Amino acid sequence: MATDNASHPLAVHIRDRLASDARTVEFGIDVVVREDVVVLRGQVATARRRALIEAVAREAASGLRIANDVTVVELPHQTRRVDGASW
């Protein structure tokens, strides 16, 4: 039976890369290694963000298979300030 290993050195390395890469700077993505598969989990606001997270993980994972379980979650409509600018 396969178990998720969030403390695997590769999982730690990928999380560090996601946090430090200018394309992603993601802190809320879970990364686990399950046998020879890197599993990404979490939520992001856009499909582009999801794709960038996968790209950075692929670069850091040296050819291992990536299972991108990151979901795109619609954000509520932006609230407008009194001066008309978005927050």
Query: Three-state DSSP class for 75?
Result: coil
Residue 84 in this model has a pLDDT that exceeds 60: no
**Nearest C-alpha neighbor of 61 from the set 12, 2, 10:** 10
**Nearest C-alpha neighbor of 37 from the set 3, 85, 73:** 3
**Tell me, what's the pLDDT at 62?**
82
Give the CA angle between residues 74, 87, 50 to the nearest 5°: 35
CATH number for the 9-72 domain, one of 1.10.150, 3.30.1490, 3.30.1340, 2.40.50? 3.30.1340
Q: Output the pTM of the full model.
A: 0.78
**Tell me, what's the pLDDT at 21?**
92
Tens of pLDDT, residues 22-49: 998 877 899 999 988 999 999 999 999 9
